[in-house]
Chain A
Amino acid sequence: MKRLFDYLKSQWKKILIAFIALILVDIMQILYPQYVRKAINLIKSLSTDTDKSYWISVLWHYAFIMIALYLAVAIFRLVYRWFLRTVAVSYDHQLRMAIMDKYLSFSERDLQKFDIGDLMSRLIRDTRSVRRFIMMGTIILVDLAVLGGMTIVTMVSMSPYLTLVSVPPMIILTLFVLWAGSYMQKKFKVMLELFGEMTERVRETAVGIKVIKTFVREDFFMKLFEQINDRYIGTGVKLFTLQSSFWPLSSVVVGLSLVIVLWVGGDMVMSGKMDIGTLVSFMMYINMIAWPMLSVGMFITVYSMSKSAIQRIDEVLTYEPEVKDTGTREIEGVSNITVKDIKDDIVLKGVSFSVSKGQVLGITGPPGSGKTVLMKYLPRLWQPGDGMVFVNDIDVNDIRLASLRRHFSYVPQDPILFAGTVRDNIAFARPDATEEEIIWAAKMACVWDDIQALPKGLDTVVGERGITLSGGQRQRVSIARAFLAGKDILILDDPLSAVDTHTERCIIKNLKEYVAQHSPLTIIVSHRIPAIHWADYVLVLEGGKVLEEGTPEELAERDGLYSRLYRYQMGGDVE
């Protein structure tokens, strides 16, 4: 809430203008019935013996004032809505960008603490609630104070007695609105829960379809679904009947007030205590005061919705991401990476190594040995402890994030593609790359033939809105992306897990060529021996520790896991 108030304070000029315009609108709305009153009294006094032309000119006069008043109302209403909207809609955008900035600083581990749908609803739905609150909340509050207050004052000044008898139903109405509002909210929560249960039934049935079909239990799950539907109907019909008759019903109460005015006021007119014009204008005031009274309930709904929205937004805005960009050192070029006894509470139990520019480090080991986790610490996708990872002998935690990551080409284990064209994805790190460069990268990653076979070649849209590439194709696009990025450090995390032997050879051949030409600092993680056997040095990890290390030739000689794998995998290979 504080964030919101600070923002509103910074926009005080616009809000002030809006308030003034809003108050003017309210005043003019209150003046209007007074002219109706005068006009009606005038009409009433008309008779055949009056000087017609004089009366008619007076009548026209009133008519013009009425129209002029409402034109002014229209204009000032546009003014206040314009200014309030500027404040509200701009905040909506600002808030969304602030949230997005936060998300962009989240590590995978931070993201896993939230549900993706939940994160998204904060960006769009919750910001919308806040926007509505700024807009509607202010209008309702001002209307209640100004329009409500001034109308009552005017009514009292016209006839205290009539006010006294006609307002009570309105107060009852307000209480009714408050009660119904909270009742409906409670029921809505029940409905939402039932809806959630229904959603869950559909979801779990879809997920368990194989089991359901195997045991031929479709009927039973139909029955379960029908049960929840019946419960949903039970609550729903009641709630929605109340909800949809709620507003019209409150107009019944307003009608009751009007009848009282008519009844008591009619009496007064007949006994000469009041004129007919006053009676008619009084009825208009009753209509006018009904809105602020009703809106009390609306305000409470809008407020409670926006309150929880603001809380949810605050939750992410105040969330401390795992990786903080507090480092200040800059690095130019990369000469080496050193990892000293790295440990974490997930898998790593002390791994050390050092690689220099131009060298190739191969890492292998069984699943779950910590290879991928280790790679994530290097560009600080995950946060390593202090004194564990060094680039150019500087602790990575002391380096400005962008300055550190600028040097990485990374092929992640799970090849994430960005929605867009194949071209966008290959050129992801270098949007300015030329056509030739992109094709070169695609050829280097041995995916060019596949791309050419796609309906629109490089311009084929992939991802949810386009074509789904196979796992192997995605992996190779991700490799092409890294080749094109052409950074000082090249990390390939299990780049060959989804390709066949032929493609594997093609990629390894090109990779060697690339390394020979550009001599980056290269780290390759793989369970395929051909992918790492050409490395300068090899680590074999097991359970978060180094099981064996040495040059591949040494390891192949030594009797260990590496040599066993080597003998089998390289057995048929002629180098």
Chain B
Amino acid sequence: MKLLWKYVKRYWIWAVLGVIGMFLQIFFKLINPYLIRILIDQYILKNDFVGATRMMYLILGFTLGVGIPLIFSSWAINVLTFKVMKDIRMDMFRHMMRQGLYFFSKTPTGVIVTRITNDVASVGDVLAGSIPAIVSDVFIITGVWVFLFLVNTKLALIELVFAPIIAILAIGFGRWLRDLYSHIRDVRATLNIKSQEILSAIPIIQVFVQVPRIRKDYEKTSLEYRNSLFKAFFITDIFNALSGPVLKTSMQATAIVAGGYLILRGSSTIGDVVAFLTYINYLIEPIRDIADKYTMIQDATSAIMKIQRFMNENWYIPDAENPHTGRPEGYIRYDNVHFAYPGTKKEVIRGVSFEALKGKKIALVGFTGSGKSTLLNLALRFYDVNKGAIYVDDIDIRQWKKDDLRSGAAVVLQEPFLFKGTIRDNITLGRDIPLEKVIDAAKRVHAHDFIKDLPNGYDTMVLSGGANLSVGQRQLISLARALVHHPSILILDEATASIDSETERLIQEGLEEVMKGRTTLMVAHRLSTIREADKILVLDSGRVVEEGTHEELLKKRGLYYELYMLQWASGQ
């Protein structure tokens, strides 16, 4: 809750306006029965036409007038809520982007997305929904009693007998219902998890003929869900019956009987009784949906806790004090690098040393899991090494200013990253680069030809993930992106996806253009790319086991030869 307060505080004026509006609105609503009482007693029953008309205008005024503070307060509260939601989201988003890569590998993307979108939304629900509802309930309950005493103290004192009953109902049942509904939520969560588990294991369930058993287990949960729904709903019904018809009618009947007594004694009027009947209706309203309010608060508390935990995650890789700034030239050296992912002991890189002279191409090959991609990730300090060091231009990359180190590099990944935005933004990543330069880069990697044929050329919108472009086109755009940023270091994780040979040729040529004169570290899959490399490193279980050019390595008949046989040589 402290987290929430921190944000609400910024917009306190809106909160104050909202509360004032709410207060006015409830006052308008509660004043009317009081006026009707006067109308009946003073004017209607005394046949005072003029007075009655005057009173009627007043009542009409309050009835229609209630709309103004109503809309006003609802607007203020929503402005507050949306501003707070935006601030929380922006802070979370910023926090997310500061995190090192480890955060993203250990947190499923779905979870990150849920935290920033849905969890914040349920905080918003509370801010705009349950908190105002509770405040308004308190206003109404207090207000009604104040008016009851104003209308007729004696009658109000008699009705006060019911106050403890209301309190007991609200608190007792409220707790009970809250527990029942949180049980429902738990069972529903289990149902969700089980559904997902089953859906992701269907072939196994089928092939081991376990369909009946798994189904029975699922049915058990589904039945438990059904039964817990039954129970909670039934208790809710009883609660509603008690708080609605029973309590309300008892209070109204009391008003009539006791009112009758008092009228006989001359200490009450018919108007008093009519006003009481209406006020009693208002009094019952706040305790309806009480379980909803409890559950909403619970939802929000757990959402806030999740957000808090998200904000407490810290996998930030900090810059050194007085870091080295400037632009890297591109001489990379790995010196006995050891690396294990945070929280694990098993080293995935075990003492790798090599150097890439400025402008040279180094290819990494090996079976899946041999550590190729990890080795690439270390170069730009997405992770820090455990032992040994990586040097760029003979300066330990931990001494480099991270942003400067990375600015001098470009990545081209297996799955090109494309986001919703124009082609131009996708190439420049929003950097202020003149269009001619963008076009020039696109031409050099053969992307210009297809871009100029798109409906809006460079301003054509790319869908998220590049869904409206072909695989090859996406690759070409990521090549243009690398080129336009003039990196001195290129990190390349080559795609395996097979595309038609024409596009393949374009990409190949584009790639050569991008690599020209740049220090390149690459995980390569195409034989043609590997052959081009100045040096090939063969990795096995985090170690470099062979090293050399394509021809040298083939002659060795080692691991490289095996890889070669498996991937490229079949059918020859």
Contact = CB atoms under 8 A, between A and B. Distances in A.
Contacts of B109: 203, 206-207
Nearest to B274: A280
A229 B411 contact: no
Nearest to B248: A70
B177 interface: no
Nearest to B463: A200
A131 B370 CA distance: 52
A119 B369 contact: no
B241 A74 contact: yes
A244 B76 CA distance: 12
Main SS of chain B's interface residues? helix
Contact of B419 (A44, A103, A198, A208): A208
A66 B264 contact: no
Interface string A36-70: 10011011101010101001100110111011011
B226 A199 contact: no
Contacts of A198: 89, 117
Nearest to B568: A366
B97 A221 contact: yes
A256 B63 contact: yes
A408 B207 contact: yes
Interface stretch (B254-262, B448-456, B530-538): B254-262
B199 A561 contact: no
Contacts of B399: none
A195 interface: yes
A564 B569 contact: yes
A428 B407 CA distance: 52
Interface string A117-139: 00110011000000000000000
B380 A214 contact: yes
Q: Which of A71, A195, A215, A232 has the most CB of B within 10 A?
A: A215
Q: Which of B39, B199, B233 has the most CB of A within 10 A?
A: B199
Contact of A222 (B94, B195, B570): B94
Given A204-B420, A222-B97, A74 B75 contact: no
A31 to B, nearest CB: 12
Contact of A237 (B66, B82, B237): B82
B198 A100 contact: yes
A216 B406 contact: yes
Contacts of B229: 89, 92
Contacts of A100: 195, 198, 215, 218, 222
B93 A222 contact: yes
B401 to A, nearest CB: 10
B202 A108 contact: yes
Contacts of A365: 570
A111 interface: yes
Given A233-B86, A237-B75, A259-B60, A412 B203 contact: yes
B279 interface: no
A36 B277 contact: yes
Interface stretch (B43-51, B166-174, B504-512): B43-51
Interface stretch (B146-154, B186-194, B299-307): B186-194
Contacts of B66: 248, 252, 255
Nearest to B49: A270
B249 interface: yes
Interface stretch (B155-163, B437-445, B557-565): B557-565
Contacts of B90: 222, 225-226, 229
Q: Which of A43, A69, A203 has the most CB of B within 10 A?
A: A43
B252 interface: yes
Given A71-B245, A226-B90, A244-B74, A55 B192 contact: no
Contacts of A86: 230
B208 A101 contact: no
B70 A561 contact: no
A66 B253 contact: yes
Contacts of A270: 44, 47, 49, 52
B409 interface: yes
Contacts of A64: 253
A564 B565 contact: yes
Contact of B63 (A195, A212, A255, A565): A255
B206 A527 contact: no
Interface in A298-338: none
A116 B196 contact: yes
A62 B259 CA distance: 13
A67 B223 contact: no
Given A40-B270, A405-B207, A202 B112 contact: yes
Interface string B206-229: 111111011100110011011001
Contact of A241 (B47, B74, B101): B74
Contacts of B83: 233
A258 interface: yes
Contacts of A381: 203, 206-207
Given A74-B241, A216-B403, A542-B570, A276 B104 contact: no
A245 B71 contact: yes
B198 A74 contact: no
B198 A103 contact: yes
Contacts of A44: 45, 270
B460 interface: no
A205 B97 contact: yes
A199 B199 CA distance: 24
Interface string B397-432: 000000100110111010001011100000001110
B202 A74 contact: no
Nearest to A111: B202
Given A97-B219, A233-B83, A259 B63 contact: yes
Given A248-B25, A256-B64, A428 B208 contact: yes
Interface string A402-432: 1001101010100011110000000011010
A462 B386 CA distance: 28
Given A63-B257, A209-B97, A428-B210, A77 B245 contact: yes
Q: Which of B211, B260, B557 has the most CB of A within 10 A?
A: B260
Nearest to B233: A85
B67 interface: yes
Nearest to B36: A262
Nearest to A403: B209
A269 B430 contact: no
A220 interface: yes
A199 to B, nearest CB: 5
A413 B493 CA distance: 25
18 contacts: A40-B256, A40-B270, A43-B256, A43-B259, A56-B260, A70-B246, A104-B202, A107-B203, A120-B195, A210-B377, A220-B429, A224-B430, A240-B78, A248-B66, A255-B32, A366-B566, A410-B207, A416-B200
Interface of A: 32, 36, 39-40, 42-44, 46, 48, 50, 52, 55-56, 59-60, 62-64, 66-67, 69-71, 73-75, 77-78, 81-82, 85-86, 89-90, 92-93, 96-97, 100-101, 103-104, 106-108, 111, 116, 119-120, 123-124, 195, 197-218, 220-226, 229-230, 232-233, 236-237, 240-241, 244-245, 248-249, 252, 255-256, 258-259, 262-263, 266-267, 269-270, 276, 280, 287, 365-367, 369, 379, 381, 402, 405-406, 408, 410, 412, 416-419, 428-429, 431, 463-465, 471, 481, 485, 497-498, 500, 527, 542-543, 547, 561, 564-565, 568-569
Interface of B: 25, 32, 36, 39-40, 43-45, 47, 49, 52, 56, 59-60, 63-64, 66-67, 70-71, 74-75, 77-79, 81-83, 86, 89-90, 93-94, 96-98, 101, 104, 109, 112-113, 116-117, 121, 128-129, 188, 191-193, 195-211, 213-215, 218-219, 222-223, 225-226, 229-230, 233-234, 237-238, 241-242, 244-246, 248-250, 252-254, 256-257, 259-261, 263-264, 266, 270, 273-274, 277, 281, 368-369, 377, 380, 382, 403, 406-407, 409-411, 413, 417, 419-421, 429-431, 464-465, 481, 485, 491, 541, 557, 561-562, 565-567, 569-571
Given A43-B259, A70-B248, A202-B112, 12 more contacts: A40-B270, A78-B237, A93-B226, A100-B215, A100-B222, A206-B96, A207-B109, A210-B377, A210-B411, A211-B413, A217-B431, A497-B368
